[in-house]
Structure 1
Amino acid sequence: MDTHALLTRIRSDWVATRPGLEPTPMLRLILLARAARLAADRVERVQHQHGLNHAHTDLLFTLYRSAPPEGLTPMELTRLAAVTPSSITNRIDGLEAQGLVERTPHPTDARSRRVRLTPAGRARVEALLPEHLNNETELLSGLSEAELQELDRLLLKLVRHLEGG
């Protein structure tokens, strides 16, 4: 069942089950979740072709775009990737096992380590990045530039509201 038909069916079922109930908020969030899932599936398909998952790609891209040559601490990575410290540790462990990142001693804090891309990690990012961006451009190509700007504005407004700001 396509999404429009599904939403129509859900609305109809609610009207039959609870006349007077307005299901529009539920339907909008179902639609938002469906769009996010469909986009994520297509993004992950490209990542999997490069032997990566979303979590690993996120960490590799964060190191590639934000890390100085000596790398970032796990706490810096946690802030930049907006995940929990245990998630970062698991991601680092997985990528280190693949030889894509390495932990190096922190120059001034013996208890801390820095994480940086290995040459193989940098090469993996550089191989994935053009395909990743082309895929994401294609995913959004159903909207005009003006619609994309409006989508950006509205999603940012929604996120700010949900974050309490």
Structure 2
Amino acid sequence: MRDAGRASGAGHDEVDRLVAAWRRERPDLDVEPMEVLSRVSRLSRHLDLARREAFADQDLDGWEFDVLSALRRAGEPYQLSPGQLLRETLVTSGTMTNRIDRLTSRGFVERLPDPADRRGVQVRLTDEGRSVVDAALEALLSRERQLLAALGDDDAGRLSALLRGLLLPFDAPDGS
């Protein structure tokens, strides 16, 4: 892996410079993990910026997109219980209540009685919320394509498979 970038004819990036400096200063350490994970970290920063820009085009915060997209992915009638939204977005119930309140005030969602539980509610995406989340998704995908533009389809597929392999243990139900 040490010379992978050079072997493929790729140029040097900032991570190459950092890794070379660590190898010079700490030759006793194996710094190869940095070659992958420092690049993942840098790409994550670029993705965060792309997300903020895409969502700003629709006057959305990232958390708003997360909640609206969970509802949109649920399919017709685009509604979930607050508990289901908690599981989809990994936030606390107090945080979710606040988020639903704010999205309701913006006209993106509405609360409806839960027909299966008199005490419960369902949160449904409004037509306006659906339009906003769809536009934000299109803008995000456009920016994500730009981030991946240097890769061909085959390379993008291989990278996706490799990253999936790295993430699977973290996504396991028991966390192991």
TM bracket (short chain): 0.7 to 0.9
Unmatched 5+ stretches in structure 2: 1-11
CA contact (8 A) 2:80 2:122 kept: yes
> Aligned-pair RMSD on alpha carbons?
2.3
Aligned to 2:162: 154
Equivalent AA in structure 2 for residue 83 of structure 1: L
Equivalents in 2 of 1:12, 1:127: separation in Å?
A: 43
Task: Give the number of equivalent residue pairs.
Answer: 161
State TM-score, norm by structure 2: 0.78
1:135–1:161 CA distance, 2 compared to 1 (3 A): same
Moved more, 113-122 or 85-94: 85-94
Equivalents in 1 of 2:78, 2:89: separation in Å?
A: 21
Equivalents in 1 of 2:76, 2:52: separation in Å?
A: 27
Unmatched 5+ stretches in structure 1: none
Equivalents in 2 of 1:16, 1:127: separation in Å?
A: 48
Equivalent AA in structure 2 for residue 85 of structure 1: T
Tell me the SS of whatever aligns to 1:21. coil
CA contact (8 A) 1:7 1:27 kept: yes
Equivalents in 2 of 1:93, 1:148: separation in Å?
A: 39
Deviating 4+ runs (over 6 angstroms): none
- Structure 1 residue 96: Cα displacement: 1.7
Aligned to 1:125: 133
1:71–1:148 CA distance, 2 compared to 1 (3 A): same
Greater share of residues in helix: 1
Identity %: 34
CA contact (8 A) 1:70 1:114 kept: no
